[in-house]
Amino acid sequence: MILFFGYGDDPALSRAVRAAERLEAEHLVLDQQALDGCDFSVVEWGGAVAGQLRVPWARVPLADFDAAYARPLAPVAHDPVAHQRESAIADAVVSWLDTADARVVNRPRTMHSNSSKPFQAQLIAAAGFAVPESLVTTDPDEVVEFADRVGGVVFKSISGVRSIVQRLDAGYLGRLERVRTLPTQFQAFVEGVDVRVHVVGGEVFATRIECAATDYRYAAREGLDADLTATTLSDDVAQRCVDLAASLSLPFVGIDLRETPSGDMVCFEVNPMPGYSYFESNTGQPISEALVRLLAGKTEPVADVTGQRR
């Protein structure tokens, strides 16, 4: 049985649940927004982990779960007592995911590399991808020197907290004193076209994004559109993506690449909890079905020309 955990209306989670229904994969949804009457208990005894999940309609031994897909989000803010209880349940589930004898996508402990962008960049480079020249600093003078040397510059958060990638223009240069209290990552701007790659076990789904915005995720804020189309990677790049995900012990990832005018692939980041629904809905790529097949322990590739099997 597959356990789905997170917000029931989260598009990524709900698409996976619908895919499980289509593929007739046995599953249970533990909705963080509807935990009334639910309980999650874990017991360690003699080196073994056991426990049960109680929902209003059933009691399920944790040993019955062969797999889990979790997208835990912040508990719903309402009654303080209920909030505390929901947090306790979420913490228990997350702790179990790290030790469960099951296929877990993804184990919380393996997702921490994304909490430090500079650290993850070193792992990406070690996997054979080019990465942008970067500077992490709280010194405005260093930023100016970096910009003078590399030319165009973008900046972003150094942590796993989502931020909007921005170009360092004259307006931001006038506010550089603010970095003294907030370490910030500055990177050489890379010309080219964005390619988002989802690795699902051994399957690869690549999406080409044509967009004039600095950060295509927020193109609408600039009054721009993003055009997403399924694409195919070279065998070498596809294999490097699979190998990169494997090196991070992440069965399901979203890898952000940019193809330069010369055809090189530069890697920005590996997202360990990808919001794949945006790409699936725009391209028709069956990412959610590949995810359920991965959770179900099946190895056959998705029957779609936009998926590459390695």
For residue 12, pLDDT over 50 is answered with yes
Residues 99 and 6 in one domain: yes
- Amino acid identity of residue 43, one-letter, is V
- Amino acid identity of residue 144, one-letter, is V
Residue 159 is classified by DSSP as B
For residue 162, pLDDT over 90 is answered with no
Tell me what pLDDT residue 305 has. Answer: 27
| Average pLDDT of span 95-121 | 92
For residue 308, pLDDT over 90 is answered with no
The verdict on residue 125 lying in a domain is no
Tell me what pLDDT residue 121 has. Answer: 95
Give the range with max mean pLDDT: 157-166, 199-208, 209-218.
Answer: 199-208
Residues 24 and 69 in one domain: yes
Q: pTM score, two decimals?
A: 0.91
Residues 98 and 152 in one domain: no
CATH number at residue 71: 3.40.50
Residues 164 and 199 in one domain: no
For residue 174, pLDDT over 80 is answered with yes
Pairwise pLDDT comparison (299 vs 198), residue with the higher score = 198
Collapsing DSSP to helix, strand or coil, 18 comes out as: helix
Residues 202 and 288 in one domain: yes
Residues 209 and 247 in one domain: yes
Peptide bond into 106 cis (omega under 30): yes
Tell me what pLDDT residue 75 has. Answer: 73
Domain count, the chain: 3
Banded model confidence at residue 130, pLDDT cuts 50, 70, 90: very high
Tell me what pLDDT residue 27 has. Answer: 97
6 φψ region: left (φ > 0), alpha (ψ -120 to 50), beta (else): left
The verdict on residue 116 lying in a domain is no
Collapsing DSSP to helix, strand or coil, 10 comes out as: coil
Domain limits for position 233: 193-296
Tell me what pLDDT residue 16 has. Answer: 98
Whether the Cβ atoms of residue 140 and residue 179 lie closer than 8 Å to each other: yes
CA 101 to chain centre: 23
250-267 pLDDT tens trace: 999 999 999 999 999 999
261-305 pLDDT tens trace: 999 999 999 999 999 999 999 999 999 999 999 999 985 433 222
CATH number at residue 251: 3.30.470.20
Whole-Å CA distances, 122 to 1, 126, 133, 154, 269:
37, 6, 11, 19, 11
Whether the Cβ atoms of residue 224 and residue 211 lie closer than 8 Å to each other: yes
For residue 51, pLDDT over 80 is answered with yes
CA dist 245 and 239 (Å) reads: 10
The gap between the terminal CA atoms of the chain, to the nearest Å, is 26
30-48 pLDDT tens trace: 998 888 888 999 887 777 7
Tell me what pLDDT residue 218 has. Answer: 85
Tell me what pLDDT residue 97 has. Answer: 93
Residues 213 and 183 in one domain: no
Tokens 């359920």: give the residue: 292
CATH number at residue 149: 3.30.1490.20
Give me the helices (H) in the chain, please. 11-22, 80-99, 117-126, 140-150, 170-173, 235-247, 277-283, 287-295
Tell me what pLDDT residue 77 has. Answer: 62
